[in-house]
Amino acid sequence: MFASIYNVAFKGVWADALIILFAAYWEMVVAAVLLMYLWSPQLKRVDLKVRAKKVGWAMFSAIVAKFGVAGLIRFLYPIERPFAANGLDALINQNPLEPSFPSGHATFFMALAVYFILVGNKKLGWFILVSALAISVARVAAGIHWPSDIMAGWAVGAVVGFIIFKIANKFRG
């Protein structure tokens, strides 16, 4: 599976540009969309507080998923990145000594997506979910993740996003 996705890279300038866009820069687009959601000019002060809490809890779930759970898994079960393990060229810069399992990007964005979908912000949640898919596939195509890294990241992110959603609901009453 890795080879079929990785073989898309280095075939043409447009394919490489799209892979680089999603693998390295699309996270900034997601951040900009989150900021626009948070600070929409037509919001009333009460709505801003509600949105700020949602964004805060969603970011908390993503941070716990990536730096807590995924970080612990990486420490306990380090797996070499595909480009380092196979002597391949990576399409984007990545530290070859940093473990790849599970994907931090897949974990982070899946936790965000699941939280927003569960909290009722379907459009934003689905945008982030599609972004997580695009970012994840691009990072495999770039040669810096195995497909198993991505699937594990999605699973960790979804579970943590769900758990944090349940915790946040207890605080809301």
Rounded to two decimals, the pTM is 0.88
Query: What is the homologous superfamily of the domain 2-172 according to CATH?
Result: Phosphatidic acid phosphatase type 2/haloperoxidase (1.20.144.10)
Domain limits, the chain: 2-172
What does the pLDDT look like over 109-130, one tens digit per residue?
999 999 999 999 899 999 999 9
Averaged pLDDT, groups of 10, the chain, 173 residues long? 66 86 94 88 72 91 96 94 84 85 95 95 94 94 90 96 94 70
CA distances from 61 to 83, 115, 116, 162 (A): 30, 8, 10, 9
- Residue 8 one-letter amino acid: V
CA distances from 4 to 92, 143, 152 (A): 18, 11, 19
